[in-house]
Chains A and B, each alone.
Chain A
Amino acid sequence: MNSRAQIRRLSDGRRLHLHDGPIDVILEASGEPGEVERAYRASAARFTNILGELCSELRFLRAPARLDSKLPGGPVARRMLDAVLPFCDETFITPMAAVAGAVAEELLDEMTSAAILKKAYVNDGGDIAFHLAPGERFVIGMVELPQKPSMFGTTAIHCDDPVRGIATSGWRGRSFSLGIADSATVLASHAALADAAATLIANAVDLPGHPAIYRVPACDLAPDSDLGSRLVTQEIGQLARSEIHQALNSGIAVAESFQRRGLIHSAALTLRGIVQTVEPHVTLPAAESCSR
C-alpha cells in the first residue's frame, strides 16, 4: 500500500472511490456479491501501483508520440501510447492526452479478469471505461458544464454497440485545452482512444486569432506541462452566434474524419449552449435545448 492512495466505498455502499495524487476514480461493478467484492479487491490492489508506474516514465509520456516511439514499460503507459499513435503523424499529441482513459481501462480490465460481472464502469474524472455482459446496457447522461450539472442529453449503450469508452474534453476541465469547446464528448471502442480523440476534437473547436479569446503559454501556468509553450485557453469573451457555429464546425470536421477512419463511434460538441453531434446514436431532447 502506498502512503497516498485512498480507497473507500462511498456512502451508498455500492461505488468505490479511489484517489491518488492527481488520479480520482469512481467505479461500480454489478453482479453476484462475491464477484463484485473480488472485482473491487482486484481494482484496489492494482490502483495503488498505477501512479508510481506512470511517474517512472513521465518524461517519455510527456514527449510527443511518434510512430517509431519505443514501447513503454508499464501497461497503462502502453495503453496511452497505443491510443495516441493513430493521430501522431498528423498532429502534435503526447501519450498524456490519453492518461485518464488508459487508467480507467486498466482498472476495468483488472476487474473483469478477476470476476464475472454483469456490468461495470470506471469513471476517471469523466473519462469512462465500461463493461457490458450480453443483454446489458448503460444509459449515460451528458453534462455541458461540470459546475452546472444539468444534462443536455442522454445516450444508451447496448452490449451490441461497439462502444466501451466515453471521454469528454474541454477548456474548462482540469487539463489545458488548445481549443474553446465547452465540452467534446466522444464514444469509442475503448476509453483511452476516446480520451485522445476528445482532446484533439476539443482542440479543433477553435477560432484562431480571435481577439476575445485569451490564451497563455501552457508552461507559464505549469512549467512542466507536456504542452510546452503552446497557447492554452484561459478565458473567452463575447462570441457571435455565427462564430460559435464556425468553431463547432471545425471540431465536427475533425470528428467526422476520425469517424471515417474508424477511430471513433460518435461525438457531441458544445459551445455556449449550442450542441452539434456526429452520428445519430446520441438522442437529444427537443430542439429548444439545443439552442439554449
Chain B
Amino acid sequence: MADDAIRCDACPVLCYIKPGRTGACDRYANAGGKLIRIDPHVVLERAVERGDTLVPFLETVRDWDGTLLNGEQTFVTAIGAGTTYPDYKPAPFIISSEVAGVDMVTVVTEGIFSYCGVKLKIDTDRHLGPECSTVRSQGQAIGHVTTSEYGSQMMSLGGVRHLTGGTRREGTATCDALLNLCNGNAVELTVDNGAAIEVQANQPPVVDGVREERMRVGCGSATIGMFAKQWFGKVDEVVVVDDHITGVLSEHQAGKLLGVPETGIKMKGQRSTPGRYFRVAEPGTSWGGTNIDDPLSILDPFDPEAARPGLRLLMVSTTGEHRAYFELDETLTPREKDLPEPLARSVERIRDNCEPALCTVLFMGGAGGSLRAGVTENPVQLTHSVGKALTRVTCGGAPVYVWPGGGITFMVDVSRVPANAFGYVPTPALVAPIEFSLRLSDYAALGGYMDSVKPLHSITHEDDASRRISAHADNPWPLAPERGNK
C-alpha cells in the first residue's frame, strides 16, 4: 500500500486516503498526513428579520453565490472548523469583522472535550428511579439520577469518569449516548431499579413505552386550590392523586373557605396538613406518578357517620390524564359512573393548563489547556477575559452559560446549536464547536495570535467548503452588543 496514504478509522469502511483526498464519505480527509474532518464549515447568517429558522444540512446550497457579506450579518461558527488538538497552534480560524464601528475578532475552533457531559431535564411526574441510581445505555453505566425538580426529573450523563475512567465499552457507550443526545437523536436509557426511557432533545419523554404528554398543572394540593371554585356545587368530593401531595377538596383549606361539607372520606397515606396527604401509594408510572391503576385503592371505607348514599366523588390526576367518577351506593361503596359533562370540562381544563412535557438537553463542557492555547499564547488571560465578560463565548453561534469561578466551563442548550454540530474522537471524547468573540484591541492585549487574524470576507470567499445557514430565531446574535446581563 502506498505509504503516503493514511487509514481512516472513522467508520468500518477503513478507507486508505491519499494526501489531499477525501474518503468515500467526503467527510474525512488526509491533510498532509493527518486525518481531518471536513464537514462543510458552517457560517451563520443573521436572518432574524426574515424569521427564518435553521435549514437542515442537505437542503442548503453548498455553492457560494458570490454575494459580498455584510460583516455584522455574518458569523463564522466553529462547526467543521477543525481543532487545535494535540498541537498548541493557533485556532483554525481567527476572524476579524467590524461591528457597529468596533473591530471585533472571533476565534473559532472545535474543542475536544474529555471533560464533558449532558444535563438532562425530563418533564414527568412518573417515578424514573431513586436518586443516585445508575443510568445505563446499551447496558453500560453512563450517568445517574439526580434531583427532582418541579414537574421534572434531572439526570446527569457522561462526565470524564464514565468517558475515560471506566472500561472501554463504558466509555464508548457514554460517548455514543452523549453524541446522539447533543445531535438531537433519540436515546434509550434504563435506570437501575427504575424505568426504561427514551429521550430526545425537545421531544416528549417515553417512559416504559408510554409517551409523556403533559407536565402536571401543580401538585395535588395546588390543583385543589386552582379548581375548587369550578368544582363547587357540581360534585361533593374531589381527590387529586399525586405521588408528591394528594389533595382532598372537602378537607382542604380551599374547600373549607367555600363551605364544602364533610364527606366522610378516609384517605390512606400520611396526612401532612388538612386535605394534603403524602405517600398515598408507592411511586410509579401510573396515576399521578404513583403505582396505582385503581384509584379506589388509596381510599379506606367511608365514615358512615358523615357519608351518605348518592355522594358524588371525582378522582383525577394532576395532569387530567387519569380520571374516574363515582357515586356511593346504599352500602356507601363507590360505584363508577360516566363522568358528568360539567366535570369532564373541568378535567379538560386541567389538561389544557398543563404544559407539554419535553426533554431538554444541556451540553456541559470545560475548555482545556490546548483549546485555550489555540486562542492566546497566555491561556489564563482568556479565562480572565471570559470571567470579566470582555470575551463572549458561543457554541455554534448559540448563547452559553459560563459557570462563575475558575476555568471556562459552560452549558448550552443543544437545540439552539445548528444540526449535527457535535462530533467525537475515539479517545472517547466529544467534539463541540466553540467561538470566542472579543474586541480586536482586547485580543491583542491578552496575547492573541495577531498574525493569524483574517478578515471575514477572506474566509467566506476563499473557503468554498463553507455552508451558510440562517441564525436560530431564538438566539441572540453572537456579535450583538450585550444588554446588561453579566
Contact = CB atoms under 8 A, between A and B. Distances in A.
A8 B184 contact: yes
A8 B12 contact: no
A8 B185 contact: yes
A11 B53 contact: yes
Interface in B130-184: 138, 172, 175-176, 179-180, 183-184
Contacts, number: 78
A222 B12 CA distance: 16
Contact of B62 (A22, A147, A220, A221): A147
A21 B58 contact: no
Interface string A92-129: 00000000000000000000000000000000000000
A264 B11 CA distance: 34
Interface residues of A, number: 27
A56 to B, nearest CB: 8
A7 interface: yes
B23 interface: yes
A55 interface: yes
B57 A17 contact: yes
Contact of A221 (B13, B18, B26): B18
A63 to B, nearest CB: 16
A4 B63 contact: no
A261 interface: no
Contacts of B102: none
Contacts of A154: none
A8 B183 CA distance: 9
B404 interface: no
Contacts of A26: 58
Given A1-B180, A11-B56, A147-B62, A6 B11 contact: no
B340 to A, nearest CB: 32
Contacts of B25: 21-22
A51 B172 CA distance: 18
B16 A55 contact: no
Interface residues of B, number: 41
Interface string A194-233: 0000000000000000000000000011111000000000
Interface in A1-52: 1-4, 6-8, 10-11, 17, 20-22, 24, 26, 51-52
A20 B420 CA distance: 13
Nearest to B26: A174
B172 A6 contact: no
B24 interface: yes
A1 B138 contact: yes
B12 A52 contact: yes
Contacts of B5: 223
Given A11-B56, A223-B1, A21 B10 contact: yes
Given A10-B56, A11-B55, A223 B16 contact: yes
A223 B176 CA distance: 30
A22 B59 contact: no
Contacts of B138: 1
A1 B175 CA distance: 12
Interface string B40-74: 00000000000001111111011100000000000
A4 B15 contact: no
B91 to A, nearest CB: 26
A58 interface: yes
Nearest to A3: B176
Nearest to B172: A3
A222 B21 contact: yes
A147 B55 CA distance: 18
Interface string B371-385: 000000000000000
Contacts of B465: none
Nearest to A219: B2
A216 B130 CA distance: 63
A232 to B, nearest CB: 13
Contact of B176 (A1, A10, A55, A58): A1
A21 B12 CA distance: 8
A8 B14 CA distance: 25
Given A3-B175, A11-B55, A222 B18 contact: yes
Contacts of A224: 15-16
Interface in A136-155: 147, 149
Given A3-B179, A6-B420, A221 B21 contact: yes
A223 B10 CA distance: 17
B332 interface: no
A223 B11 CA distance: 17
Nearest to A53: B12
A147 B58 contact: no
Contact of B185 (A6, A11, A22, A55): A6
Given A1-B176, A3-B424, A221-B18, A21 B53 contact: no
B419 interface: yes
B172 A7 contact: no
Contacts of A3: 172, 175-176, 179, 424
A220 B54 CA distance: 39
Contact of A7 (B2, B14, B185, B419): B185
Contacts of A147: 62-63
Contact of A55 (B12, B54, B62): B12
Contacts of B175: 3
Interface string B402-425: 000000000000000001100010
Interface in B284-335: none
Tell me which of B14, B58, B187, B424 has the highest count of chain A C-beta atoms within 10 A of its own C-beta.
Answer: B58
Nearest to A11: B56
A11 B61 CA distance: 16
Contacts of B57: 17
B56 A223 contact: no
B16 A21 contact: no
A1 B178 CA distance: 13
Contacts of A174: 24, 26
A4 B13 contact: no
Contacts of A11: 53-56
Interface in A48-96: 51-52, 55, 58
Contacts of B58: 10, 17, 24, 26
Given A17-B56, A22-B23, A222 B11 contact: no
Given A3-B175, A222-B21, A20 B15 contact: no
Nearest to B183: A6
Closest 9 CB pairs of A and B: A21-B11, A55-B12, A22-B24, A22-B25, A223-B16, A3-B176, A10-B56, A224-B16, A223-B5
Given A1-B187, A6-B180, A174-B24, 12 more contacts: A1-B188, A6-B183, A10-B58, A11-B56, A20-B11, A21-B11, A21-B24, A22-B24, A22-B26, A24-B58, A55-B13, A147-B62
7 contacts: A1-B176, A3-B179, A6-B420, A8-B184, A24-B58, A55-B12, A174-B24
